[in-house]
Amino acid sequence: MNHRDRLGRFLATDPADVGCEEAMAVLHVYVDLIADGRDAAAAYPGVAAHLAACGPCGEDFEGLLAAVTSP
Amino acid sequence: MKPLEELVAALDAESAEWVAALTGPAAERAQREARLHGMLVRVALHELGRRRTTSPWLAGVELEDLAHQAAADAMLAILRKLGTFRGESRFTTWAYRFVILEVSAKLGRHYWRVHPPVALEAEAWERLPDRFGLDPAEHVQRAELVRAMGRAVDETLTAHQRRLFTAIVLEGTPLDALAVRLGTNRNAIYKTVFDARRKIRAYLVANGYLEQEGTGAR
């Protein structure tokens, strides 16, 4: 990947992205779908787009998933 | 049937047990609250430990104290909002979300204790290539892109967007920490930076620095 691609990727924005508030409001539902082996991204594409783009919400998602799936 | 009984009847067995115990007789409630608190502390400790890998500055922080504070605040929020639980997820997943969000909020506040705010120097733009992992071998194009980015920031962003974009991208300030400093929330900052990224990208595309493909609008 060249420098323009890297910059372009950083600046890219997904119109489906629902933002932090909406994503965090359903995070528990989203995480339970994944924990149950279901396709959470298909059920909530806007949340999936947000979690891929927002570092802090992505961290919260990883943390909640770890909390419910770790023994 | 009363609403609470209707709710409990609709939940999975484990969640129903939690709701019934947390809304039941005082002795049972106290016992269940103590159990939930212990679980929240465990989740908070695990989460803080996990975040040390991505936030090295956490090494010097009293993680155990932070975990107990996050668990205590999450517990209060859970009990206050218990009536809003509708069983869209397991009860424990719903409850753990509160403590994970508390951990993030506490880390945002704690950030400024170990990173006192400093004014951004003019040379900060020189750090931009590192932020994006731009290849030093391509120094001519790199310098050209950095200049174009600077023009895009100056010409297309509002003063507020410029302030947040530079704080996050050039200074590397965590979004939650910036929200604490500005007395706002994560969502408001994210939306501002989202719009800033979109405007900068549009400028770079319009001026031939980036390809059109992948441009989004919100």
Q: Is residue A51 part of a domain?
A: yes
Q: Is residue B213 part of a domain?
A: no
Span B84-98, average pLDDT: 96
- Contact call for residues B37 and B75 (beta carbons, < 8 A): yes
Q: Could you tell me if B102 lies within 8 Å of chain A, comparing CB atoms?
A: no
Among residues B149, B165, B158, which one has the least CA distance to residue B200? B149
Is B33 in the same domain as B100? yes
Span B81-85, average pLDDT: 95
Interface predicted TM-score (ipTM) over 0.95? no
Q: Is residue A33 part of a domain?
A: yes
- Contact call for residues B98 and A64 (beta carbons, < 8 A): no
Of B89, B138, B204, the CB nearest to A29: B89
- Contact call for residues A27 and A60 (beta carbons, < 8 A): yes
Q: Number of structural domains, chain B?
A: 2
pTM for the whole structure: 0.88
Q: Please, which pLDDT band fits residue A67 given cuts at 50, 70 and 90?
A: very high
Rounded Cα distance between B210 and B145, Å, is 10
Q: How many helices (H) and strands (E) does chain A have?
A: 6, 0
How many angstroms separate the CA of residue B98 from the nearest CA in chain A? 10
Q: Which domain holds residue B40?
A: 3-114
How many angstroms separate the CA of residue A57 from the nearest CA in chain B? 9
CATH code of residue B129: 1.10.10.10
**Mean pLDDT for chain A?**
93
**Mean pLDDT for chain B?**
87
Q: Which domain holds residue A33?
A: 15-69
Q: Number of structural domains, chain A?
A: 1
For residue B123, pLDDT beyond 60: no
For residue B78, pLDDT beyond 90: yes
Q: Is residue B139 part of a domain?
A: yes
Q: Is residue B47 part of a domain?
A: yes
Choose one of B72, B92, B114: the last residue of a domain.
Answer: B114
Helix axes A27-35, B91-114, angle to 10 degrees: 120
Is B51 in the same domain as B104? yes
Instruction: List Cβ neighbours of B69 (8 Å cut-off, separation of 6 or more).
Output: B102, B106
